[in-house]
Structure 1
Amino acid sequence: MIQSIKIKIDYHTHNNLSELNKLDLSKPVKLIIMDHNIIGSLKNLNESHLESLTSKNFVKAKKILLHQRQANINHNLLKQFGFQHYLTKPFLANELIELINKYLGVKA
């Protein structure tokens, strides 16, 4: 059974990021990003938010489903790391791919 964690992201607070530590990383993890204004929020993320979202624990798990409503983009780049990636806007997806690559140490 896939574990599910819901995180509402905004630039004021870390919200539920402490919940990340409670996950059993030997099992698949579904990360649900809940935000009505996700594009605005992602533009305002700071380094500590990014550390939490792409932490070493998650990278080790390599079973993250990044999920946002109405998924329909190409996510081959993340698939090679065992990620599945679903977001609504291509430019937003590319932005997130770049951030994850940064923390994985992948060179463009």
Structure 2
Amino acid sequence: MKMLKVINDALNYYRESVKGNKSITAEQARVKLTRNVKLVQPEAPERVLRSGIFSKVYMYHDLHITVRNGKVIKVVNLKRPRFSKKRYIELSKALGIKDIKYYRKHCAAR
């Protein structure tokens, strides 16, 4: 399988911004980014965008991976704001919502 190349700026950003990848090797990052791009291509072609004449942006969850001529030139992690679990549970209880994700841990009746 053909592997993508990764420029140093993209590699460093990937290591710093993606949880659990701070200490991975350059080769491991290259393999993971290649896997992510290859997953998007056939499974979700609507998540492949053109960015200029020769570049494509692959949207893999919160990661936007820009590829030009078989090389990852940019990675952007669009981290979404997280909400307080405690406030989420409080509001859910106040509104009478019982099928919430954290409910099992915080309520005896389900």
Q: TM-score, normalised by structure 2?
A: 0.26
Q: Which has the higher strand share?
A: 2
Q: Which has the larger radius of gyration?
A: 2
